[in-house]
């Protein structure tokens, strides 16, 4: 790893990514998006539904996430996320169908519909569509 660069690891229950020589990492915190540069103070933060961006000299890579936790310690960033999907690999048609199903559940509320769960599904689907649209 180059001097004055970050190392980022993203871990989900299904997959793990590791990035070396990272210039900056942007994540969706509970109070808004924030960026981490080299020599950042130690930090732990909750991550919300949103976009994680890894900026390296080769370019920027974006991921859609449904939330989790982030830790910064000695120029190493660890993201433990519920889900994380590379923006370039998002199936937009599938995300649009998921958004439509969630909207239908919210529109036709009944006692069987878990409103919180439907709203969360809609937020995740819309986030996937938004992040994929930037590629």
pTM summary value: 0.89
pLDDT tens-digit map of 65-104: 999 999 999 999 999 999 999 999 999 999 999 999 999 9
Question: Looking at the predicted structure, is the pLDDT value of residue 1 above 60?
Answer: no
Check if the beta carbon of residue 43 is closer than 8 Å to that of residue 110.
Answer: no
Q: Domains along the chain?
A: 6-87 (2.60.15.10), 91-132 (1.20.5.440)
Handedness of CA 123, 8, 20, 13 (dihedral sign): negative
At 63 the three-state DSSP class reads strand
């Amino acid at each position: 790893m180059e001097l004055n660069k970050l190392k980022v690891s993203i871990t989900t229950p299904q997959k793990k990514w590791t990035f070396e020589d990272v210039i900056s990492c942007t994540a969706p915190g509970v109070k808004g998006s924030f960026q981490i540069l080299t020599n950042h103070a130690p930090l732990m933060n909750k991550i919300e539904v949103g976009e994680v961006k890894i900026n390296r000299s080769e370019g920027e890579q974006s991921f859609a996430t449904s939330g989790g936790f982030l830790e910064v310690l000695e120029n190493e960033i660890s993201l433990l996320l519920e889900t994380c999907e590379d923006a370039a690999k998002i199936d937009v048609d599938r995300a649009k169908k998921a958004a439509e199903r969630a909207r239908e559940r919210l529109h036709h509320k009944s006692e069987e519909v878990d409103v919180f769960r439907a709203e969360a599904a809609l937020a995740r689907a819309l986030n996937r569509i938004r992040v994929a649209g930037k590629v």
